[in-house]
Structure 1
Amino acid sequence: MLIACPHCTAVNRVPDDRLVDDPVCGRCGKPVLSGQPVELTDATFDAVVSKTELPVVVDFWAPWCGPCRMMAPQFEKAAAALKGSAMLVKVNSDNHPLSASRFSIRSIPTMVMLRRGAEVKRLSGAFQAAQIVDWVAQPPTSRLRTQAAASAGASRPR
């Protein structure tokens, strides 16, 4: 399984049976899957989400947002529960507007699940850890798959 380090963006090969064993990056030595959400920036976003084979769940948030602050500990619990099956990351939409605008984030908190950089599904609002874990485990609906395919095509340069 290829996992991009959320700290230095180096791509690491991690055997599937070692995903829950706190694998560390071969370049920077930091954990690539710690079971804790990692903050991404506009500079690191594409490299991490496009090169990671696990689903990446992005929490778009802002520090002034009350529901975002309420959901933060729940997102952390979900990250621990999903360790080895998904990478959970956060993007401060105020500090990193390019990443937020790329996915047309209109309200926060909004979670977007990506596979190899392509949107699979999204969910807006504040949720409990169990709800986040259940949402990640559910397959996308055909409507969402169609929307994701359309938005992926619309975002390609012509």
Structure 2
Amino acid sequence: MSSPTTKARTIKCPTCGRANKIPVAAEGTPRCGNCKSPLPWIVDADENEFAEVAEEATPLVVVDLWATWCGPCRMVSPALEQVATELAGRVKLVKVDIDRNPHLAQRFEVQAVPTLLILDKGEPVARRAGAAPAGTLRSWVEQVAAGRRDSERG
């Protein structure tokens, strides 16, 4: 089994269309090798790599705790990917299948799916349950990000 630092996902650059391999765990913000634009950082994580992939990430991390049998989870997934694309360079989307990772579901006290968390430097700073359209999710993430910037200034 490979370590999280060697696992990667291919992401198409929304600016120039070039395919880029993005590591699931890395420092900073992934950028397109061609045009240097920030790339959407969308990865799957399991219990073994969650700390490295989500908790040690520099940008805000949106965690999608979902299940394969969950209809609302399938509805919210494209909306979350849209938000991650629109906020490329500012957030990282980490998707966790709770049926395959029950310890993470228990740790974050998941009672309904999808459960969405925002982590700032590994600490949960916001939480919501249920599906929502991309615009609502983007507003939620931007509101949390604005609060983060305000607290860094204060």
TM-score (norm: length of structure 2): 0.71
Task: Give the aligned length.
Answer: 124
Q: Deviation string for 1:100-133 (max 9, x for gaps)?
A: 1111111000100001111001011101111111
Contact 1:40 1:89 in 2 (8 A): yes
Question: Paired residue for 1:21, among 19, 31, 38?
Answer: 31
More helix as a share of residues: 1
Distance 1:37 1:11, change over 3 A: closer
Give the ranges of 4+ consecutive aligned residues of structure 1 lying more than 3 Å apart after TM superposition: 4-11
**Residue 20 (structure 2) aligns with:** none
The one-letter amino acid paired with 1:71 is: V
- Determine helix, strand or coil for the equivalent of 1:42: coil
Structure 2, unaligned stretches of length 5 or more? Answer: 8-22, 148-154
TM-score relative to the length of structure 1: 0.69
- What is the aligned-residue identity percentage? 35
- 1:8-27 superposed Cα distances (whole Å, 9 cap, x missing partner): 66543x3xxxx46337xxxx
Which residue, out of 52, 63, 68, partners 2:68? 63
Paired position in structure 1 for 2:14: none
User: Structure 1, unaligned stretches of length 5 or more?
Assistant: 24-32, 143-158
**Partners in 2 of 1:134 and 1:127 — Cα distance?**
11
For the aligned residue pairs, the C-alpha RMSD in angstroms reads: 2.5
- Asked whether the 8 Å contact 2:115–2:128 carries over to 1, the reply is yes
- Between the aligned partners of 2:134 and 2:85, the Cα distance in structure 1 is 10
